[in-house]
Amino acid sequence: MPPPLPAHQLNFRQRLGAMRNIPPFLRGIWETSRPLTLATIGLRLVRAFLPIATLYVGKLIIDEAVRLVGAGVAGELAEAWQRGQLDHLLALLGLEFGLAIGSDLLGRMTSYVDTLLSERFTNATSIRLMEHAAELDLEDFEDADLQDKLDRARRQTMGRMSLMGQLFGQAQDAITVLSFAAGLLAYAPWLMVLLAVALVPAFIGESHFNALNYSLNFQWTPERRQLEYLRQMGASVETAKEVKIFNLNRFFIERFRTLSDKFYQANRRLAARRAAWGTVLAALGTLGYYVAYAYIAWRTVRGDFSIGDLTFLAGSFRRLRQLLESLLTGFSQVAGQALYLDDLYSFFEIEPEIRSKPDALPIPQPLRRGFVFEGVGFRYEGSERWALRDLSFELHAGEVLALVGENGAGKTTLVKLLARLYDPDEGRILLDGRDLRDYDLDDLRANIGVIFQDFVRYHLTAAENIGVGQIDAMDDRMRIERAARKGMADEVVAGLPKGYAQVIGRRFKDGVDLSGGQWQKIAIARAYMRDAQVMILDEPTAALDARSEYEVFERFKELSDNRTAVLISHRFSSVRMADRILVLADGKVEASGTHAELMAQGGRYAELFELQAAGYR
């Protein structure tokens, strides 16, 4: 487990270096919506000058009131009204009222525009995240470090919504500061120096604790993913049955409580230190303010300033202190949030290794010779064990090939290499005599229809669940229904209350759940959506009974005429219909032939077949 508090923090150069993320962040906002960006900038520019204008009008009101009192109009206000002596005061009061109403209106308009802009930016960033994730290699998603980075990046698509308003607010406050500073400089320039010196300690402290907070959150990324996993396991429709039967709720709750308490304690310690030091450092700023306030009061008593000047200077200094404190604290917070942007932009910098060459070839139409594996070796990232090693065989065009073998023999890995979800570490795979890497990646995958044993159960309508197999034909109902018939899913759909329009799965309201076998027929129909030259069924019938699986494979055999097909199954009675069977063991081809030939050889295939057959007797 990580320590309660981070063992180290980022140095000043690293924190300052994170500010390089601000320009692309602002550029992303600008590209999201130029009209909305211009609108929020314009509104804030006007709002920036309202505080100094309001305060100055207030000074004029006080000076005018003092003048009228000195002129002796206090006892004859009615006559003064009639003579117009109060007109200037009333005009100033009306102006201040208008400024107050205008400030409120501009504030609401700014908030409205910021809400629209941040929502659009968040959506655009989320789309960009999904688009980039789709380009990454499958191997990337199986790496724990990348999972942590992806989790942090996903959080930033929502977690940085406040940064946009904060950046624009900082710019607005900076303009307001300049306007107040100009007023103070005209009266007492050294007050600005006093104010700056008094606020520097608070800024340094805020920056220090922002960096510590980032380090803590970064360090706890794996644990936060565990917390999210435990939360999902303990309260999910997918796990509810086993949680109840095995009484797992206490186990999940206790583990969640233990881990979350440790994270809470770490955050609490950091928050306590931040609050204590923040109080001490903020007191220095308060001391500076009252020293300046005493100086202004003394100059007023001496006759250097009017009562209106006193009000204006005291108000200006107070607002300037608040604004400078906010600016310095805000800058520190922006620098802290820029560190979090590192998580987002560093994810965007990850480049996939499996991609099409610039001069990639289209897939031959039709395939003439098929695939050849030449000494193919592959092992998963971080594993010492080879999943496949020195694997050599041919998959002829138009052939139905079955792959059998015990768990871990490398069957699914072979299929993933065939679809270029991975590239071999050794050897090569040829398609019609050319290296598989020479072909366009999208065209290759468009020509392969595959259903894996861990197929996805989409919580969409039945039609959409099938249609995702060929996304550009999602609205082609005839094609969807034809695929359903081929995959024997038409009977499943016929039993749904709304037919093809029925949402399946329990995640959403009115959804209807399916049995494992029904889900598998939907998934098989998904593969038939593609007019693919290569069809692959990787153990997709595990939830079907023996008769249903036999019928599926019979249909698969009939529909695979003139297509290259690969099927994987643990039920040997089903694969015997293949043109050829490969027996895999320890990542290599141990035997090859028809069912009859392999039975005659009396090797592993015959032994496993007899063991399975004995189970049915």
- The per-residue pLDDT for range 373-396, each reduced to its tens digit, is 999 999 888 778 888 888 898 989
Burial of 387 (0-12, 13-18, 19+ CB in 10 A): buried
Average pLDDT value for residue range 242-252: 63
Q: Which DSSP state fits 439?
A: B
* Spatial distance between the Cα atoms of 423 and 437, rounded to a whole number of angstroms: 8
Residue 6, pLDDT > 50, answer no
Q: Please state, in angstroms and as integers, the Cα–Cα distance from residue 568 to each residue in 116, 296, 584, 600, 609, following that order.
A: 51, 87, 11, 21, 15
Average pLDDT value for residue range 27-46: 89
Burial state string for 298-322 with b = 16 or more CB within 10 A and e = fewer than 16: ebbeeeebeebbbbbbbbbbebbbe
Q: 67 CB contacts (<8 Å, ≥6 apart)?
A: none
Average pLDDT value for residue range 434-458: 85
Q: Which residue has the higher pLDDT, 4 or 483?
A: 483
pLDDT at 18: 67
3-state secondary structure 109-161: HHHHHHHHHHHHHHHHHHHHHHHHHHHCCHHHHCCHHHHHHHHHHHHHHHHCH
* Spatial distance between the Cα atoms of 464 and 467, rounded to a whole number of angstroms: 5
CA atoms within 13 A on the CB side of 504: 26
pLDDT at 372: 92
pLDDT at 134: 75
Q: Which DSSP state fits 342?
A: H
pLDDT at 201: 67
Residue 1, pLDDT > 50, answer no
Confidence of residue 204 (pLDDT cuts 50, 70, 90): low
421: three-class secondary structure by DSSP: coil
Confidence of residue 613 (pLDDT cuts 50, 70, 90): low
Q: For the chain, how far is it from start to end, CA to CA, in angstroms?
A: 53
Residue ranges in 419-504 assigned as alpha helix (H): 441-446, 462-467, 477-486, 490-494
Burial of 89 (0-12, 13-18, 19+ CB in 10 A): middle
Domains of the chain: 22-348 (1.20.1560.10), 366-447+542-617 (3.40.50.300), 457-531 (3.40.50.300)
- What is the residue-averaged pLDDT of the chain? 78
CB under 8 Å, gap of 24 or more: what pairs does 510-516 form?
511/459, 515/543, 516/542, 516/543
Confidence of residue 2 (pLDDT cuts 50, 70, 90): very low
Note whether 199 and 324 are within 8 A (CB).
yes
Note whether 547 and 555 are within 8 A (CB).
no
Q: Token digits for 76? A: 């004859």
Note the pLDDT tens digit of each residue in 496-527: 999 999 988 877 778 888 887 788 888 888 88
Burial of 427 (0-12, 13-18, 19+ CB in 10 A): middle
Average pLDDT value for residue range 594-604: 84
Note the pLDDT tens digit of each residue in 275-323: 777 677 667 666 766 777 677 777 777 777 777 777 777 777 777 777 7
pLDDT at 8: 42
Note whether 522 and 465 are within 8 A (CB).
yes
